[in-house]
């Protein structure tokens, strides 16, 4: 197994992922951002810290990115003192962010030119599952790179799906968001309709739970509202989903129609 894994993006999702890597015996180097609390927590568990993406690349065998989206990935990888300035042949980059297929392909091509393995492995589920090590991931990578990264992903994922070459994982995640965020939006509208028309919301919950309209997303959202008065049962906001494509939508360098899925997600939400 790799001697050292670097983690860039130890926020809501990344903290739990990095914690599980430490628990499984990996050496972890973290890169701090504005909020030091997650990094300090990992340092207390035995992690080390680096000052820049370039230093990360120089000190590690494998890098995991788990940042907000495509602009952050681009800045970390290609920016001044960036990750590619420090990585060299034989190392591996795993991008667990949800970004743009076109950028994933550009990063993969830049890595290939330097002999660096690259996989895009965006995630599903919430920070709760990240802490528990039970996330889902959709991986785009060559068979050889997938074989290398699968044991690492298994430290914080219980379901790992190899979807094809680099970029396939991100396309899968965007389509996954089309379904899950669509269900979240419809659930919110349905609850508003109940309130507007006088339908008993608890009885409505029983009706949907017993029928074909039931879903995991519905069960995340509605019980928390009914039992706790909380609107945070689903730990992923529509506003956060809308950032994935970013207006205006940008196609991949390959220009495949499937890249328009990101546009569809944005318009639907």
179: CB partners within 8 A, 6+ apart:
none
Peptide bond preceding 54 in cis form (omega within 30 of 0): no
Give catalytic residues, as residue numbers.
173
Which of these, 260, 110, 242, lies nearest to 171 by C-alpha position? 260
Q: Where are the domains positioned within the chain? A: 4-165, 171-268
Do 50 and 29 contact (CB within 8 A), yes or no?
Answer: yes
In order along its 269 residues, the chain shows pLDDT tens digits of 567 999 999 988 999 999 999 999 999 999 877 788 999 999 999 999 999 999 999 998 999 999 988 999 999 999 999 999 999 999 999 999 998 999 999 999 999 999 999 999 999 998 999 999 999 999 999 999 999 999 999 999 999 999 999 999 999 999 998 898 889 989 999 999 999 999 999 999 999 999 999 999 999 999 999 999 988 887 666 666 666 544 434 434 444 444 443 333 333 33
CATH superfamily of 4-165: NAD(P)-binding Rossmann-like Domain (3.40.50.720)
The verdict on pTM exceeding 0.75 is yes
Task: Give 51-54's long-range contacts (Cβ < 8 A, gap of 24+).
Answer: 52/81, 53/8, 53/77, 53/79, 53/81, 53/82, 53/83, 53/85, 53/86, 54/81, 54/82, 54/83, 54/85, 54/86
């Amino acid at each position: 197994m790799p001697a050292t894994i670097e983690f860039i993006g130890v926020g809501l999702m990344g903290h739990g992922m990095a914690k599980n890597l430490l628990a499984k015996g990996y050496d972890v180097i973290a890169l701090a951002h504005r909020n030091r609390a997650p990094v300090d927590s990992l340092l207390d568990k035995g992690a080390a810290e680096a000052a820049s993406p370039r230093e990360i690349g120089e000190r590690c065998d494998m890098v995991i990115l788990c940042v907000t989206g495509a602009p952050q990935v681009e800045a970390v990888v290609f920016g001044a003192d960036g990750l590619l300035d420090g990585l060299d042949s034989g190392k591996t980059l795993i991008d667990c962010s949800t970004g743009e297929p076109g950028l994933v392909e550009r990063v993969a091509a830049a890595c290939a030119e330097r002999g660096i393995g690259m996989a895009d492995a965006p995630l599903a589920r919430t920070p709760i599952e990240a802490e528990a090590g039970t996330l889902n991931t959709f991986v785009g990578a060559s068979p050889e790179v997938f074989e290398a990264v699968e044991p690492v992903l298994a430290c914080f994922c219980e379901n790992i799906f190899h979807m094809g070459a680099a970029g396939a994982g991100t396309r899968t995640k965007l389509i996954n968001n089309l379904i899950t965020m669509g269900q979240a939006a419809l659930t919110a509208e349905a609850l508003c309709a109940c309130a507007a028309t006088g339908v008993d919301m608890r009885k409505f919950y029983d009706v949907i739970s017993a029928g074909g309209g039931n879903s995991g997303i519905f069960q995340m959202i509605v019980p928390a509202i009914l039992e706790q008065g909380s609107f945070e049962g689903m730990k992923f906001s529509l506003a956060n989903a809308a950032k994935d494509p970013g207006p205006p939508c940008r196609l991949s360098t390959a220009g495949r129609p499937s890249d328009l899925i990101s546009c569809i997600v944005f318009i639907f939400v």
